[in-house]
Structure 1
Amino acid sequence: MVSVTLSLPEQVHMKMKLFDEINWSGFIRRCILQKTHQLEMKEQLLAGVQKDEEIGRWFSQISTPMRKERVSALKKKGLI
């Protein structure tokens, strides 16, 4: 396991000493793990959104000519 050193204001350090029943190292470790997990999930969601945008562009490229053909056909029939 890697060690990390933090610099804290003296006031914060004094308050931490008041609550010595808390394992501050474990608390900070859990906070870091939670934050890294959140960031990983965010990256996965963004990758999914980008994939959805690519699919949307592809679908738009395919469907636009088909819609134009359909509109032309309906105009010829006098329906629009």
Structure 2
Amino acid sequence: MYRCYFCGKNSQPCEKANFVVLIRRHKIYPFRPGVNRVKDLEENKWKFVPDEGGEGFETVKEVIACKECAKIPHKITMLPS
């Protein structure tokens, strides 16, 4: 059971929770050499390969909402990176 962030109603037992993102931020992930381990099938050895990094979005604030409130479009605030 949970309480809706927007209307304050309590949910019914076993009712599925709906998560609504309120705040996100832009994130740049750096290149990291030798952090992922993969199996080389030809040599039957483990090798370490780099993580290329990249960019994306991180969720800063996420709240639980009832089904009715989750259907309503909510404004997502973007924080500077």
Q: Which TM bucket (shorter chain)?
A: under 0.3
Structure with greater helix share of residues: 1
* TM-score, structure 2 normalization: 0.17
Q: Which structure is higher in strand share? A: 2
Structure having greater relative contact order (Cα 8 Å, sep ≥ 6): 2
Q: Point out the structure with max Rg over C-alpha.
A: 1
